[in-house]
Structure 1
Amino acid sequence: MGTNAFLKILPEMVSFLRVAELGSFSAAASQLGMTPSAVSRQVTRLEKELGVQLIQRTTRQLRLTEPGIEAFAHCRALVTAAQATMQVAQQFVGEPRGQVRISAPKAFARHVLHPLLMDFLGRHPSLDMQLIVADRDIDPIREGVDLVVRLTPDPPQGLVARPLMAVRQILCAAPRYLEEKGAIGHPRDLLAHSCLYLGEQERDNRWRFCKGDEAVDVIVQGRYVANHSEIRLDAVRGGLGVGCLPDFVARDALDSGSIVRVLDDWEFQANYRGQAYLLFPPNSFMLSKCRALIDHLTTALRRRD
């Protein structure tokens, strides 16, 4: 394809990108200020120029073909580079501008990310923020999100992964619960207690503890099973038993004394632990607004961790 032909299909590439991101010709047309039929014609022209089908169209949904997935990545890089070019001066002078879209799991968003974003917005009055709270794996490329927080021991291939903080599961109980039911000095003592666990997987009530050369597996039982950490925190504060909680969820309640650590001299090897990573597509043209937020989060959480 010659240079002139490439220049002619630049608008078609932008239209294809928006359709792929939004999953709809109508939504893309609304964003681009065009009619759906005009957007559809542009995508068709791009497919003819490339000689491959990029989008499989049905009455219910649109799906990218294998060439479409490849083309989508290149088109997104092209548009990002164009946006970066428009902001060249801004990267060196003055405040970053525009909107940053970031997603995170619910508990992490509420307890860790939200306070940091509030501080970030206070420091950068020319920036806007969209926080997408979702307990599912967000694909930043397909869903048009700038940055994604994911809690995992193994970050996915194909994305840049910046570590933010370690995520640990700890055991907690309310002081009055322990006064009524008795202290817990060894993992096997949990067999006589009501324990709150996730219940998402069959082995979620099998808790493993290690101390030195000793390893202990305990199958716990309890009256309340909940796969939401903030609900388990409320139940622990309410005296319903011993609960496993992410350390960042329990932090404030521990500081206030409404709950206390249990078996903190043992290593609790929970299923749900690892690292919180900040994920984003590899790109040489990182926008200053995203770079500023990445630096803010990594610096703040490095101090906290």
Structure 2
Amino acid sequence: MTDLNFTGTMQLFVRTVLLGSFSAAAREAGISASTVTRKISAIEKHLKVALFHRSTHEITLTEAGYLYFERVTAILSDIDDAHRAVSALDAEPSGQVKLTAPVAFGRIYLAPLIPQFLKIYPSIQLDVRLTDNHNDLVRGGFDLDIHEGENYINDLVVHPLSRNDSVLCATPEYLSLNGHPQKPADLSAHNCLQYIHPEAETQWRFRKHQSRFSHLPRGTLQSDHTELLLSAVLEGTGIAEFEIWLVRDFIRQGALKIVLPDYEFKNDLTGKFIYLAHLPNRRQSAKVRVLKSFLADRLSRVGMLTESEIQSLRDKARAS
């Protein structure tokens, strides 16, 4: 491969994988698609193995291609780190950082934090993608990912931001009209609004001390959109389950009350923690490190109720 700029060709290979086609990589690089094809074919010839499955409409990585992609991505990250260290760019973090997070979480918590971060680090450009479906960190080229629940990629490097508590909620008006459930079985007499998801359980599960309980929610509304359910609950429609980070302010303001405050609500879909994560082969450059530190500092405990909050909310619930 003496006729190739090897580093440049590796970069071209990575962009082809991330963009999903030779033509897209060519447009981004400002060269012809045939040039991209020729350069990647030269890599395959040198390695004596195919990196892509090629068809009329798409290209996909072979097993060897995926392994090569992982190693090359790490190599290019090391090269980038070396350039930054030598040129002293790490003294002032700069460049693009890609972050992905759930929609509601991003709207409530990231939206006010991002302007603060960019004021501190004006040489960094953030690319923030919000979705309730896990983004593909590999194909999306994401540096950091905020997610709830169990890791969806093997060997993902995770930093727990906060415990992720879930609670049942209703408005004071709804509870005044329909009564306050004292135990899970009492929910059968209530309009229970349900979040639906392909991986979600159909039953609500509770724990109190060593005892476990379950309830199959039945009601007039089910949805795959948490904020739609929240709007319905705030209008007094019924009872629903939410992560505390979504409803904490409404509870503090008195717009919502926790239902069954003496019971621990368990939700395997949203899991026990909110994580900040990155791929194992993504080296932590200065720009990524400062964003990770910034978010970890400001989002610590965002998904959990403190003991004092729990006691205060339980006292209010009992007094109602």
If the length of structure 2 is used for normalisation, what is the TM-score? 0.87
Question: Given the alignment of the two structures, is residue 35 of structure 1 paired with residue 32 of structure 2, yes or no?
Answer: yes
- CA drift of 1:6 comes to 10
Equivalent residue number for residue 216 of structure 1: 213
Equivalent residue number for residue 41 of structure 2: 44
Where in structure 2 are there 5+ consecutive unaligned residues? 305-320
- CA drift of 1:77 comes to 1.4
CA deviation map 1:150-191 (0-9, x unaligned): 212346323211111121221000111111111222222211
CA deviation map 1:130-163 (0-9, x unaligned): 1111222223223211111221234632321111
* CA distance in structure 2 between the aligned counterparts of 1:119 and 1:10, rounded to whole angstroms: 36
Question: Given the alignment of the two structures, is residue 186 of structure 1 paired with residue 145 of structure 2, yes or no?
Answer: no
Contact 1:199-1:225 at 8 Å conserved across structures: yes
Q: What SS does the aligned partner of 1:87 have?
A: helix
Contact 1:205-1:221 at 8 Å conserved across structures: no
For structure 1, which segment, 122-131 or 238-247, has the greater mean C-alpha deviation from structure 2 after superposition? Answer: 122-131
Equivalent residue number for residue 302 of structure 1: 300
- CA drift of 1:43 comes to 0.5
Check 1:90–1:8 CA distance in 2 against 1; reply closer, same or farther (3 A cut): closer
Contact 2:143-2:282 at 8 Å conserved across structures: no
Equivalent residue number for residue 22 of structure 1: 19
CA deviation map 1:250-273 (0-9, x unaligned): 122222221111111111123333
If the length of structure 1 is used for normalisation, what is the TM-score? 0.91
Equivalent residue number for residue 110 of structure 1: 107
Contact 1:99-1:129 at 8 Å conserved across structures: yes
Equivalent residue number for residue 73 of structure 1: 70
For structure 1, which segment, 60-69 or 11-20, has the greater mean C-alpha deviation from structure 2 after superposition? Answer: 11-20
* CA distance in structure 2 between the aligned counterparts of 1:303 and 1:262, rounded to whole angstroms: 22
Contact 2:103-2:132 at 8 Å conserved across structures: yes
Equivalent residue number for residue 318 of structure 2: none
* CA distance in structure 1 between the aligned counterparts of 2:199 and 2:76, rounded to whole angstroms: 45
* CA distance in structure 2 between the aligned counterparts of 1:202 and 1:78, rounded to whole angstroms: 36
CA deviation map 1:185-209 (0-9, x unaligned): 2222211110111133597442222
Equivalent residue number for residue 226 of structure 1: 223
Where in structure 1 are there 5+ consecutive unaligned residues? none
Question: Given the alignment of the two structures, is residue 270 of structure 1 paired with residue 267 of structure 2, yes or no?
Answer: yes
2:251 counterpart letter in structure 1: L
* CA distance in structure 2 between the aligned counterparts of 1:232 and 1:243, rounded to whole angstroms: 7
For structure 1, which segment, 103-112 or 286-295, has the greater mean C-alpha deviation from structure 2 after superposition? Answer: 103-112
Equivalent residue number for residue 120 of structure 2: 123
Equivalent residue number for residue 287 of structure 2: 289
Equivalent residue number for residue 90 of structure 1: 89
Contact 1:174-1:258 at 8 Å conserved across structures: yes
2:274 counterpart letter in structure 1: A
Which residue among 246, 255, 258 is the counterpart of 1:258? 255
CA deviation map 1:190-233 (0-9, x unaligned): 11110111133597442222222333222221101112111111
Equivalent residue number for residue 307 of structure 2: none
For structure 1, which segment, 200-209 or 129-138, has the greater mean C-alpha deviation from structure 2 after superposition? Answer: 200-209
2:28 counterpart letter in structure 1: Q
Check 1:159–1:6 CA distance in 2 against 1; reply closer, same or farther (3 A cut): farther
Which residue among 162, 167, 170 is the counterpart of 1:165? 162
For structure 1, which segment, 76-85 or 221-230, has the greater mean C-alpha deviation from structure 2 after superposition? Answer: 76-85
1:229 counterpart letter in structure 2: T
Check 1:202–1:26 CA distance in 2 against 1; reply closer, same or farther (3 A cut): closer
Percentage of identical aligned residues: 34
* CA distance in structure 1 between the aligned counterparts of 2:200 and 2:136, rounded to whole angstroms: 28
1:299 counterpart letter in structure 2: D
* CA distance in structure 2 between the aligned counterparts of 1:17 and 1:212, rounded to whole angstroms: 52
Check 1:116–1:6 CA distance in 2 against 1; reply closer, same or farther (3 A cut): farther
